[in-house]
Amino acid sequence: MKSPCIKICEFEEGICLGCGRSREEIKAWKRADPLGQEAIRAEADMRLLVLEAQGRRRYR
């Protein structure tokens, strides 16, 4: 699975405002199996919705 990184590595409270992943999730991405990556992406997507609603999400 392709990384959700959009090359905006700006963090607030340990969460990337570009992709929604935590620092730990970013580090674990390459080692994770497809199910693990899917779980990371699902969590990140939920965080992105919150960031967007708060007007804090960053886009390219």
Query: pLDDT digit string (tens) for 4-52?
Result: 999 999 999 999 999 999 999 999 999 999 999 999 999 999 999 999 9
Whole-prediction pTM: 0.91
Burial 14-43 (b: 16+ CB within 10 A, else e): ebbbbbbbbeebbeebeeeeeeebeebbee
The whole-number pLDDT of residue 47 equals 97
Q: Are 22 and 15 in contact (CB under 8 A)?
A: yes
